[in-house]
Amino acid sequence: MNDRGGGLIGSIAGLLVLLALLLFAVQSLFALFARSAVTDAAYEGARQVAGARVEHDDFTSVVLARQQAERTVRTHLGQFGEQVSLDWAGSSTDTIALTVHAQPPGFLWDALRGAGPELISRTVRVRVERPR
Output phi, psi for 101, to 5 deg: -115, 135
Euclidean distance between CA atoms 43 and 35, whole angstroms: 12
Q: Is residue 59 domain-resident?
A: yes
Euclidean distance between CA atoms 88 and 95, whole angstroms: 11
Q: Is residue 39 domain-resident?
A: yes
Side by side, the strands of the sheet bearing 85-87 are: 85-87, 95-102, 120-127
Q: Is residue 132 domain-resident?
A: no
Q: Is residue 61 domain-resident?
A: yes
The pLDDT tens digits for 112-129 are 656 666 788 999 999 998
Number of separate domains in the chain: 1
The pLDDT tens digits for 10-44 are 889 999 999 988 988 888 888 889 899 999 999 99
In which domain, by residue range, is 40 found? 6-127
Residues in the chain: 132
Q: Is residue 106 domain-resident?
A: yes
Q: Is residue 1 domain-resident?
A: no
- Model pTM greater than 0.85? no
Residues 6+ apart with CB under 8 A from 76: 37, 40, 41, 44
**Which of 50-54, 75-79, 84-88 has the least mean pLDDT?**
50-54
